Each structure stands twice: as C-alpha cells, then as structure tokens.
Amino acid sequence: MRALKIISDLLPIPSYTVILICFFFPFITIKCGTTELVSVTGFDYVVGTDIKEKTKKNEFSRMMENQLGKNLFSAAETDLDSLDVDEDGDPIKEESLFPEETAEEKSSRIVMMVMMGIPFFMAIAGLIFSFVKIRRKGLLHIVISSLGFLVLLFFGMIIKSSDELNAVTSMAEGMGGGMISIGMGTAYYLATILFLLIIMFFGMQKYLKNLYKEEQAIREEALDEFFTKE
C-alpha cells in the first residue's frame, strides 16, 4: 500500500503535464495523398481556430492557386464581355471551391471549442490538485480524468463528420483530388491514453483500499469472536 501511495503522489503530475503538452501538437492531420493539407492541434480547437482560415495559409493551397490560376477561397466576378451571364444578363460569379464560413459551420466550431476546452481545463485542474493536500484526492482524479477521457473519445468519434472537415474534403474533390484522408494525431491518442491510465490506476487503488479495509474488518471480527469465547 505504501508503494501505491508513492505512485499516486507522483503519477498525476507528469501525466497531466504531458496531456497539456499534447494539446499543442496535431490532434488531426488532413492529407491529400501523401501531401499534408493542414494539421490542427488540440489547442486550435480550444481557442476556436477556423480550419478554413488555417488551410488558406497552407503552402499546398497557395501552390494549387498558382497552378489553377484562380483564388480558391473567394468568388471572383467574370469579365463583363464574358458569355458567362445569368438570365438577367448579370455576370456570374465564379463559385469558390472553399466558400466563406456558414452560420452552421460557425456554430459547430463554437461547440467544438467548448467541448475541447473541457479536457484541456481538466488537465490543468488535475495538475493543480496534484500539489494540494485534500481528502479523497484519488476520487477527484477519477472524476477529472473520466471527463477528459470521455470528451476526447467523443471528439474522436465525431471528428470525421465535422462540417469544417467536410468542407476541406469538398475543396479537394473540387480540385480533382479525391484522395483526402483525415487521421488522428499521435498527440490525441497519447492524451486519451494518459487520461485512461489515471482512471485505471486510481480506480485500482480505491478497489485495493476497500479490499484491505474489508480484510481488516474480518480479522478484527474474528479476533473479537476468539476473545469472546475465551
């Protein structure tokens, strides 16, 4: 039990620290074939970074603009002499391959920002409580890590259906790519596993403590019966 006590004092500090560091490394990576389009860190989601805006600044996007000879991210008006006009004779605006953010996409981004803020601030809270002497600290670590783990797990399940990522995929298909792949980064998996490790350790510690107390109670009861018979 003494060894478990030592580990319980030491394990949370490096674990929560590494989780926080993981948030500054790619949680998802979007590739077109073998070329990286954009990587998004966990902290990008915490602060509500727009993936579209980040993709605009990517070198791959600039290269595609040069090759296609047009702006991928905004609609450009055609020449007045062009035959591309609508029924009223007004020039047709060239459709953007990566249109401006819609209200629905903005709402989705805000939801993701709030959601990813939970594991980030849970890691901060866990690190702070690791240095504070309080009762039931093990149970507190279980609650904190469970929240962080479940949110990250849910994030991983819904990330590929994100409106922002679908917009990136649509852009590549419009350019004739069609080889978009979205992968979860090593940092995401490491943060999720560390939350799970903390849950498992303190859960096991609590179980062993309860088992030890039960054994002690049985021994004391047996001793009482023995001395009573004497």
Which residues, in sequence order, are CB contacts of 33 under 8 Å at separation 6+? 177, 179
Tokens of 223: 């001793």
71/76 Cα distance (integer angstroms): 8
In this prediction, residue 154 carries a pLDDT of 93
In this prediction, residue 48 carries a pLDDT of 85
In this prediction, residue 81 carries a pLDDT of 47
Q: Is 136 helix (H, G, I), strand (E, B) or coil?
A: coil
Q: Which residues pair with 85 in a beta bridge?
A: 91
In this prediction, residue 21 carries a pLDDT of 97
Compute the Cα dihedral for 189, 194, 197, 199 and give only its sign: negative
Q: Do 45 and 113 touch, CB atoms closer than 8 A?
A: yes
pLDDT per residue as tens, the chain (230 positions) = 666 677 777 789 999 999 999 999 999 887 776 777 778 899 999 988 877 776 666 666 566 556 555 554 454 444 444 445 555 555 444 444 455 667 777 787 888 889 999 999 999 999 999 888 888 888 999 999 999 999 999 998 887 666 555 555 555 555 545 566 677 899 999 999 999 999 999 988 888 877 767 777 777 666 666 666 65
In this prediction, residue 82 carries a pLDDT of 45
Q: Do 18 and 28 touch, CB atoms closer than 8 A?
A: no
* Closest CA relative to residue 45, chosen from 196, 192, 152, 123: 152
In this prediction, residue 151 carries a pLDDT of 95
In this prediction, residue 83 carries a pLDDT of 44
Task: Give the CA-trace dihedral at 35, 45, 167, 181, to 10 degrees.
Answer: 30
197/74 Cα distance (integer angstroms): 46
pLDDT in tens, 217-229: 777 666 666 666 6
Q: Give the Å distances, CA to CA, from 121 to 17, 155, 216.
A: 12, 15, 39
